[in-house]
Amino acid sequence: MNITLQNIGRRFNREWIFRGIDYTFENACKYAVLGANGSGKSTLLQVLNGSLVPSVGMLKYNDAGKEIEAAGIFNHLSLAAPYLEVIEEFSLNEMIDFHFKFKQFKNGMDKNAVADILNLEGSRNKLIKYFSSGMKQRLKLALAFCADTPMLMLDEPTSNLDTQGIDWYLGLVEKFSENRLTIVCSNQEHEYSFCNNRLSIADYK
């Protein structure tokens, strides 16, 4: 899966968040979108995943030579972000079942394997509203990594995670990001150290 941006810009009212982005995110490569807090990283990610329309410019998705319409791109990506909601009235089991009604498990994964990755074997029937912020973030990451999608988008992935949680996240990256277009929005190097391509929002102000 490739994403091609041609003169992409986004503004709110009269203020440009970014503009003039000509860039291609290539299949199976890893990218870091960098910038200070409030610089527009999350806004760009929302443009890339189709939840925001660019104010100017053209964005194209291509999968093995076949163009994908923006309206259907959600079928091809997994997303984890602090602002992404989980259904707090669900138990862990129910949330996993619900998520994978819309996504396929990666090869070799199932509901039990996802719960094992989370190290929450004893909390399968616990309501998510009783999870700590760190447990919720782990859940969002596990659902994203364990879904069989060609694109993986991560916004501030270690938000609310302690040192052990950061190591756990990096283990997921090593195990589940191979051969996926991976885009990480961050200003903390430990979150994107594995990315060999960097795009700085400051270059497009």
pLDDT at 156: 97
Q: Which CATH number fits the domain that encloses residue 135? A: 3.40.50.300
141 within 8 A of 86, measured Cβ to Cβ: no
DSSP designation for 8 = E
Q: What is the pLDDT of residues 79-136, one digit of tens each?
A: 999 999 999 999 999 999 999 999 999 999 999 999 999 988 788 999 999 999 999 9
User: Residue 52 is part of which domain span?
Assistant: 2-204
pLDDT at 178: 93
The pTM score is 0.95
Give the three-state DSSP class for 101: coil
Residue with tokens 């440009």: 16
Percent helix, strand, coil in the chain, to 5, is 35, 30, 35
Alpha helix (H) residue ranges in 66-200: 92-99, 111-118, 133-145, 163-176, 189-192
* 65 pLDDT higher than 90: no
Tokens of 42: 């999350």
Query: What residues are paired with 66 via a beta bridge?
Result: 63
pLDDT at 139: 97
pLDDT at 122: 80
| Number of domains within the chain | 1
pLDDT at 198: 97
pLDDT at 190: 96
Point out the least confidently predicted range of 6-10, 115-119, 156-160, 181-185: 115-119
pLDDT at 203: 97
Phi and psi angles of residue 131, each rounded to the nearest 5 degrees, phi first = -75, 150
Q: Is 11 exposed, middle or buried (0-12, 13-18, 19+ CB in 10 A)?
A: middle
